[in-house]
Amino acid sequence: MLRSRPTWWGRRNHILCTVAVFIVLTSLDNAAIGLLPPLYPVIARGLSVQELSIGFVTALTILIVGLASAGWGYWGDRNGRKRLLLYGSVLWSTMTLLTGLSQNYAQFLLFQVLSAVGLGCVASLGFSLVGDFISPTRRGLIMSLWGLTQGIGLGVGVLLAGLLGANNWRLPFFLVAGAGFLFSVLYLPSYEPERGRMEPELRKAIEGGAHYDYKVRLGDVVRLATRGANLWLIAQTFTAQLAYGSLIWLPRLFAAKTQGEGYSLETATVVGSLFAIVFSIGGGFSILGGYLGDRWQSRDLRGRALISAIGIWGGIPFYLALFFLPLSGLAFVEEKGAPGVVGGVLMSLFTNPWVVLSFVVALTALAFTSLASPNWFALINDVNLPEHRGSVFGMGTMVLGMGRAVGNGLAGVTFATLSSSVTPPWNYAWGLALFQLFFIPTGLCYYIASRKIPRDIARVRETLAQRASRLAG
């Protein structure tokens, strides 16, 4: 005999607690990803390898996250997602802990690769779950908040690495792993939403006790990846991430600019991480992007894709300016340690004209490009049936991972190649500028997708309405 659930199960407070824990958990996996880039030179020195070798680990990790995400997404569309999400969270937390205990490069590489398998689970299943908590009319706004918390998680990882890892690179890995274990335990009593519960066509039938039991089939995969808007929404992730993948090196660019002012590697690592965090505040404009996408989409089904194209293209000139602006006149008291450096960075935001200008330019660049992310999340939900969304998101994440891995890896090679003719930090600046060219076809993919989206949305709505009639009958 099955044991009955408590009276609070599935009610409003239970759902709110589930969402809160879930958001922190998905943010932590981004924190784990953000640990490496600021610590490239420190970890390389600690493991007695070249800095490029640590960059290779990041590229490989990103690639495996994407590949694993496709598998987890398909599996989640066929099975219960809560249990799988717990498995993935425990896996990446364990491997992140072991990464901090690595004694050589081979161990470091192995544990990061295994961690990436678990991180892929959180990416695709997290998207599938959060989509079933959101109504279609507010997808852009809520998805922007979900994406923003992941960005915050990434920033926390960068900040932990910069502040705590400069003298002991292992400590940030221990802290993030511990938090991952804690929130995995807190997620045990969470609520798993009924698939498709927020779709207007299905809501009445599900509230009446019907169960939406449609599942993805293996034969659906190729058709989903190549049909209509999906093809172009997935394709843009590759070109976009060639550019975004190179941006993982931004802390290294800022650190190199700081070293050029005469500061030590340890101080420059802290400063580079802090500037990367502060300059990323513009990502908060994704909330505005989600809101505007919802409004435009309510009047024109092409709206989300068009605003995404505008954002991607609009950010290019501002990124180029950010790379080449100098960080002259920096003033930090190294003898005071991290607190003195942090205080100096914060003070420079008000007193150093070059830092102020860089901040404004970075804010504008991110304000533009952040318009795309929440609307991409929303569009994957809009143009796909509930049982296909995790799989399509997983495929998109797989292609995204390939693009980001290639972008990150090629960026490292590009910087090294340019260093023979251009001294740091300008080898990083020129290298990052070259990768911005990939944003041009990214915007074009969004524009082409916008012409196919209305038909795909109509097809989804018609199919759900037909299924709702069968479920009600």
Looking at residue 96, what is its pLDDT? Answer: 95
Residues 6+ apart with CB under 8 A from 77: 128, 215, 216, 387, 388, 389, 390, 391
The two tokens of residue 306 are 């068009």
Looking at residue 336, what is its pLDDT? Answer: 63
Looking at residue 1, what is its pLDDT? Answer: 40
Domain 12-210+224-472: give its CATH superfamily.
Answer: MFS general substrate transporter like domains (1.20.1250.20)
Looking at residue 2, what is its pLDDT? Answer: 45
> What letter represents residue 79's amino acid?
N
Q: In this predicted model, what pLDDT tens digit does every residue of 438-448 receive, in sequence order?
A: 999 999 999 99
Looking at residue 384, what is its pLDDT? Answer: 94
Looking at residue 152, what is its pLDDT? Answer: 84
Q: In this predicted model, what pLDDT tens digit does every residue of 8-33 receive, in sequence order?
A: 777 788 888 888 888 888 888 889 88
The two tokens of residue 71 are 């598998």
Residues of the chain under the 50 pLDDT cut: 1-2
The two tokens of residue 187 are 């997620």
pTM listed for this prediction: 0.83
Looking at residue 3, what is its pLDDT? Answer: 54
Looking at residue 473, what is its pLDDT? Answer: 64
